[in-house]
Structure 1
């Protein structure tokens, strides 16, 4: 997009780039690194055509794998790499685009910062156009880099660029969807929630099309399915990229049209007025925390439950999917067991433990947002104490993590048990495995809230801390990282269940450290000044 005569567009583009100078490289690294590492791993795991053929046949028999990643019609290195990375990469690009667009448009209006910017010589369309230029540029840049990197690993160049650009196209479409949602709704949380819900719905439509031989046409109804229809390394249908390009252009034009027709700081759809009187469940600091976080907890729980049902359905096919000796070695490292089914369940439960920690961290970060926005001062103008307010958010962070882990255990155990005709035993193993994750999650929440209490401006650094822990847990063993370094992550000390003995010592130590962290947090938060 050119400046097009929009006053302030160049300056706002620079501002958006500067504000996201840290998070954008992280998103790009995640997308590029995921595709490159997948290609490198596939090349090492399946070096010959025979092993790739066996793997492809196993995937064809695993309905859960098809629902998650899509169909695998050929057994070439490029086809398997595409199968493993395309759908999830497209979803990750879509999430990035949604969060960035809403952050720089609706969230800025909601906080009043965009009104301050608009007081200068700035065209009303400039903020939206600036962020769209940024997001489109990042998506295209990531797609082109993926196309340049994969041939270095040994894959064909044409398929590599088709893979990268199909991911980018999906991200650009959802940038348009987010732009429309930012015009429709008054609250940034609502805009994000609706856009992410649409992403989940389109993902399920794509999954339904992949799982049915008679309904593959459903993929044409989903932007995620459009990425698949490009068929990198199996067809390289470049013309299919025209569909998301046209769709994105229409969505962006619609967003600009809606922007011109609505009042500043309002949405096209008016906000629903709240009740005249607060219910008993919303009174006090704990009621306020419940009101603030219940929507996101519900969405997280449903998403984790659906994912757990899908992953649990893989257990009956795990022997087919881990036929390679190298795959079995990796699964044993992640799951801590030579039994492939137990190792698989343990490794997936570890991922759900990390996701529970992510939810807990979102609660702490939003508590910091209440302070930064000045709303916490209104609360403290009444009778609530600082300790009670902070504990309300911390309790909800931990309780929400418990709910998410319970949803994961129920989904994994139910789908695994139905496949093995032993629902009771599978549920027992799943609940035992997820319960071992809780001390690590609570410790991470305690560290995050301690950071908020001591150095509030660094609260977001908790994401870096969690990212390091996740990296060491998921990738560290394969990279042969020193055990001393791996021990930095709380998840390293979680017993790998089922299939292994339980040592209570690391769980008790993590719980004790969490208690000490919370006590230090309450003291530090009571003694420091509030920072807006």
Structure 2
């Protein structure tokens, strides 16, 4: 027996556990890239139109900070995938972080890894299995993305370079997550720390990309996100940059193994700060406990949504110069809005942000399942606290938290847009438009609650529904799906605000559906066994 004994068995176990989640998310990323390419190619058929659009993007500092720079204005591939090269790469990094932490630190926190370690499983086998799974998923993502972009009509070399850039980001942050998992003592802390590292390097890339000739452009080279963009797919294909990403992954992975050998199973090299000896007076009920459990996650989401609102508000003021061709105007208006190009752009971006707010809502509800499976709910339910009150407290946090996210995003976007245009009435308009998406978000929360109460083993139904609705909304108009298919998504029934007519009936029906789903879930939870 050696340190890697049992790695193959653990890899098969990890693949079995993620056999649905990983392929689904890889499919989402590939479809987003291919759909973006397929939609953009016919919009800019001439060289002049591509150059104009690329120069407009490069001239908007907020857009460069958010997505990155286009290094070849004549390249349709670079123009089509500018969003995926920045924001999409960050999402790939998040997937890698969650995958590695799920199969390392989370397993230790639950005690399952200690049981495996008592059998013929080497000390380094769990970490190796998690990294092999994450690296393998990154490789599959790279290859399938390249093949999909070729099928969409883009050059083969640039397509595989773009796939390599996404796969390299996945591998780099899988290594970061593996290192962080050795430092922290809980899965939540590991995820928060790794995501904070991702946010820091994203900001470094943004500062470097927006710096002038005399500014700190070198900061881009301190960021793995910057490395993926400096590989420059469809704009020269600098393959040698991939060696930097590979070297970074190897060095950080080696550091993770060194740290793993120096700590006890279940412990982190940086111990958790001890809590109070006695509970504060405010921690006297299930709602206060739920707030205590969710406040850290919600705080991080709030910061991100404020920044998104400021960026989108600034972008809205200059969107008219970007969508200058008739084809581009037709596309963005088709995505939403009726009274102007700016309103249509804001409507499309709010739909994207509402999808992200749904992620928080689903996460908040799934915390109940984590509390149950980690045997933390049972001691609470052994007191006079009822099941409905306990579950309802997490549901309240999910609803109010997601509402708060949309409210701060709409307010920040309105302030930024109003400051640019001199019309502070935009604050109320964009706040109302953002909150109009709440009933659709509540439907996804309701689906997750129903799954938790009725079929807890299928708690991932919330993620499946979100993925399906997102793909319908993003790809439905592009692939001209039938209207009844598009109507399956609750977001298809949200009024197209600002600019469109406000229709309360669809929102009331969505809110009613969400309430029925939540009630069914709570009723099911009252009757089933605690597992």
- TM-score when scaled to structure 1? 0.95
Aligned partners of 2:473, 2:37: CA distance in 1, in Å? Answer: 21
Tell me the CA shift for residue 436 of structure 1: 1.2
- Structure 1 residue runs of 4+, over 6 Å off? none
How far, CA to CA, are the matches of 1:492 and 1:278 in structure 2?
A: 45
Matches within 5 A, 1:146-165: 146-165=145-164
- Whether the aligned pair in 1 keeps the contact of 2:100 and 2:174 (CA below 8 Å) is yes
> Are residues 1:450 and 2:456 paired?
no
- C-alpha contact 1:82 1:233 (8 A) present in aligned 2: no
How far off its partner does 1:65 sit? 1.4
Pair 1:509-2:509 in alignment:
yes
Q: How does 1:255-294 map to 2 (within 5 A)?
A: 255-294=256-295
Q: Secondary structure at the match of 1:478?
A: helix
TM-score, reference length from structure 2:
0.96
Shift in CA distance, 79/354, structure 1 to aligned 2, threshold 3 Å: closer
Structure 2 distance, partners of 1:522, 1:89, is 36
Cα deviation, 1:215-234, whole Å, max 9, x if unaligned, reads 22110111111111212222
- Rounded Cα–Cα distance in structure 1 between residues aligned with 2:507 and 2:35: 33
User: Once structures 1 and 2 are overlaid, which stretch shifts more, 141-150 or 99-108?
Assistant: 141-150
CA contact (8 A) 1:330 1:478 kept: no
Which is further off, 116-125 or 487-496?
487-496
Judged with a 3 Å threshold, the aligned counterparts in structure 2 of structure 1 residues 478 and 146 are, in CA distance, closer, same or farther, namely closer
Q: Separation in 2 of the partners of 1:84 and 1:444?
A: 26
1:76-475 residue pairs with structure 2 within 5 A?
Answer: 76-213=75-212, 214-422=215-423, 424-475=424-475
The residue that corresponds to 2:45 in the other structure is 47
Given the alignment, which residue of 32, 42, 54 partners 2:30? 32
Looking at structure 1, the residues matched to 390 and 229 of structure 2 have their Cα atoms a distance apart, in angstroms, of: 48
Query: By how many angstroms is 1:175 displaced?
Result: 1.0
Q: Is the 8 A contact 1:67 1:208 kept in 2?
A: yes
CA deviation after TM superposition for structure 1 residue 82, in Å: 4.4
Distance across 2 between alignment mates of 1:474 and 1:242? 34
Shift of 1:434: 1.4
Displacement of 1:194: 0.3
Per-residue deviation, 1:104: 0.5
CA distances 1:473-521 after superposition (whole Å, capped 9, x unpaired): 3332333222222222222221111111211212222223333333333
Instruction: Show structure 1 runs of 5+ residues with no match.
Output: none
Counterpart Cα distance in 1 of 2:522 and 2:170:
42
Residues 111 and 383 (structure 1 numbering): CA distance in 2 closer, same or farther, change over 3 Å?
A: same
**Residues 7 and 129, structure 2, Cα contact 8 Å, conserved in 1:** yes
Any gaps of 5 or more consecutive residues in structure 2? none
Distance 1:469 1:144, change over 3 A: closer
CA contact 2:369–2:456 (8 Å) conserved in 1: yes
Aligned CA-pair RMSD: 1.8
1 CA distance for matches of 2:368 and 2:434? 26
Distance 1:135 1:216, change over 3 A: same
Instruction: Tell me: CA distance 1:444–1:233, structure 2 relative to 1, closer, same or farther (3 Å).
Output: closer
The residue number in structure 1 matching 2:5 is 7
Aligned with 2:409: secondary structure? helix
Does 1:479 find its partner at 2:484? no
Residue 84 and residue 356 in structure 1: after superposition, are their counterparts in 2 closer, same or farther (change >3 A)? Answer: closer
Report the CA distance between 1:191 and its aligned residue. 0.3
